Structure 1
Amino acid sequence: MPKTSARLLALLSLLQARRDWPGALLAERLDISPRTVRRDVDRLRELGYPILAIKGPDGGYRLDAGSELPPLLFDDEQAVALAIALQGAARSGAGIEEAAARALHTVRQVMPARLRHRIDTFQVTAADAVRPETRVDSGVLMTLSAAVHAREVLRFDYRRRTGERDPGPARRVEPHHLVTWGGRWYLVAWDLDRGDWRTFRADRITPRVPAAGPRFTPRTLPGGDAAAFVAGRFRGAGGAGDWPCRGEVILGLPAAEVSRFAGEALVEELGPDRCRVVLGSWSWPGLAAALGRFDADIEVVGPPELRDAFARLARRYAAAATGPGAGPGVGPEVSGPPTPEGPRRGTRAGAGP
């Protein structure tokens, strides 16, 4: 007969493998007597495992969900962290997917009902390896995931890069998915006020109270895959390895207007009439030309190569305006009113020469 400790572990493993176990079948599988099964069940109960006795002709046992996680006592945040880690491991591609999935099932089975429900609503897609560079409150993540799962309109305040809250009313979105990218959490959602798909950094979100609104019918995400959607947006904006030249500017236009014509650029709203644009191209002059097609003031954030490219293009454009064949009154100092159609006239963002 196996030692008591090994026998208890074997019994616990069997109880976790299926819902109900007849006592006689447990005795047969463990090669022990029904009386020993009863004693071992009592020992597991003393350790905190909630094992129920099933009435019937043969009798039996069931491992039930208790008020805490035996034998280790996890608080809610620790349990959530464990479930997130196991979900990520199950999709890691490191050869441990099956073991991680079984471990997640085992942990879930003995969770309290209230915590098990929260974990069931938490589904995340890993678009890239997650690095703990930006902390997000676990309560915020649970609120976002619950809204995604329940298909409820979400209301929240959004902070700028400087930490200041965006002016105006709360953002109203139809949350679609939580995605990790580059060590950060993002919410993919349909922005009801701007009428377009957006990605929001979770660490900048502060849910309103109450955060949840009416239920909605999910829209079809472009491409149908949340991970590919986020990865495409960041890679198209000049992410590592995609474009040899990448620059960042601030445009004097609303983000909603720029994003309609910016292709795969990363566009971040900074105010009612200002936005940050990160864009890539095959050359610095091509990048400067793609950004210059927007009829707006441009503030170059970096790098210096982009600033130099703007200077070279300015000299070329000035020479073209004053060269042979230029009509009277045409010169670098002459300018007309803003052209609303300006963003539509250039080449597609992220595809400069």
Structure 2
Amino acid sequence: MRKLDIYQEDSLIYSIFLEKDFSALPERLNSVSSKKKKALIVTDDQVAKLFLEDLKNTIQESFSAISVCILPAGEEYKDLEHIQKIYQAALDMELERKDMMIALGGGVVGDMTGFASASYLRGIDFIQIPTTLLAQVDSSIGGKTGVDFYHYKNLIGAFHMPKLVYSSMHCLLSLPKVQYASGMGEIIKHALIHNEKYLPYLLEHKEALQERNPEILLETIYQSNRIKKYFVEKDPYEHGDRKFLNFGHSLGHAIEKVADFSYSHGQCVAFGSLMALSLCKNIAKEDILKVQELMEDMGLETRCKALKYEDIFEALSKDKKQKNQHLQFVLLHHLCSPYIEEDISKERIEAVLKQYMRSEEV
């Protein structure tokens, strides 16, 4: 077991637990006085088949009542219409302000449950139980919640911190290769922006990560969680340094939207990270190649399918991270030294798109 505590202004906000399975969850729930509360578990129809009964059996004595809301799986259902289904399930259960929601699933479920709990009765508590590698190293930590609107990713949302994050390694063993690789895209991004020892660690242990060695995987998730903790504690509402976590996300989100979400989020972060590295003026070509090879070893693609440049720029212009009509990117002075470039020319962006995009159509 590994544990990380998240603080805000010297006050403990919540703890992150990395465990082998669900068995320690009842003990962890004691910290949120769960036996006096009702809980609504929100999950999707794919995760429910794998982990819902196990979770319910494990925590049935930990709450005064438990109910379930099962949503369809997929980014295309991350919208206000399906948030209403969570609200209705909460109303049917007569959930009160003292009660809570539990997000059991990947980033989509976590973001939606977080947003629903932030807005239901003007805010109730929620717990994150992330079941994908991507959610365990990214979306479950930091309190960003939200839904997509007209295919613009996370356009509507709120900051709402969980009361507890519980990441179980056994959930990752059955993860499809594409989803596992997606998580590795975010992990590699972390290694590029913070902790100079992390990228060498990933390179040294890439075979063990390919095999999903539990000890190496747990340590990797722990190190990524430490990086996320560093930025979240320093800047909880993304007014400053927390924006560095968006490395690779400007072009990554644009590709994700223009490709109609046919790529996973972590895969798009990988595309965006390679493009951002190539926009940096002081990153050696051999370092970029090293990162590219690591991505390929982890099952990630390094060249995206052909997309129209004008569609990419249109998506960039609608990105909520942009400022004063300028294309704003997180770049690196050198590895693990991020900064924000306020205005990148379209010519430079087109050059990296050409470099990392297959050429059937532009």
When normalised by structure 2's length, the TM-score is 0.26
More helix as a share of residues: 2
Q: Which of the two has higher C-alpha Rg?
A: 1
* TM-score, reference length from structure 1: 0.27
